Amino acid sequence: MEYRKTLYQNYYTTQSGKQNPNNLSKLFHEEKWRFKIEIIPLLQGIAKNAKIIDLGCGSGSLLKALDENGFTQVFGIDISPEQIQVAKTMGVHNIKCMDIQSFFEEDKNKYDLILGMDIIEHFTKNELVDLLQKIKNKLNPGGQVVFRTPNMDAILPNRYAFGDFTHECLLNPSSAQQLGLACGYGQVEIKSSNMRIKNPTFEFIRKFLFFFFQISIKIQLFITGRSVKNLILSPNMIVMLK
């Protein structure tokens, strides 16, 4: 049996940190808050009536964040029946239980914005190249793609990269840029993910400590003769393709 069939069937409750179904609402709203400060600000140039699809939409927290920020044509697909049920329970609409291959075969629409949060790491290298090329063909003229994926240049990257058994292909900013350009995208931009903590006191401490930690990493790179250009140390990175 192909492992994905087993793992994705109950992905929401078996994924690390999500075992307790009583946390469903709390987790959903925490994810939505994160998307509002991390992804929504990147969409300032996107029209509110733009046609948007979230591939691997999970619990639908990003779709809800988009809806609450005035975007009117938002859709989502996910391979996990459990994730789709969670999304519906949380009042998310315009979602469908569907795998990526079926989406490309059956969906004849084109989109202004294609999103993929924590999804591209779930494909093998061959699958990922094929996916990016197919996604490019689903864009309207001037359309763009936004992914979030684990960053292998991060602090203790294994904690995030290997925290999910279904992860296959892991990238850092350099390999993500190489991949995007090789797959035919004319512009590839890599950004740090948002690391903000809700508690103001803890956030101040975090920023203070991170500032000095980042300096120490830059010193280590310098003394080994490596460049610190475009250094990103956040657990995740945002990959923007046009």
- Degrees, nearest 5: CA angle 104-105-111: 35
The pLDDT value recorded for residue 22 is 63
> What does the DSSP assignment read for 142-189?
EEEEEEEEEBTTSSSTHHHHTSSTT----B-HHHHHHHHHHTT-S-EE
Q: Please indicate whether residue 126 or residue 166 has the higher confidence score (pLDDT).
A: 126
**CA dihedral over 100, 152, 144, 12, signed as positive or negative:** positive
8 pLDDT band, cuts 50/70/90, is confident
Per residue in 142-181, pLDDT tens?
999 999 999 999 988 888 788 888 899 999 999 999 999 9
Q: Which domains does the chain have, with CATH numbers?
A: 3-197+233-241 (3.40.50.150)
The predicted model scores a pTM of 0.91
Residue type, 91: G
Residue 57 has pLDDT above 90, yes or no: yes
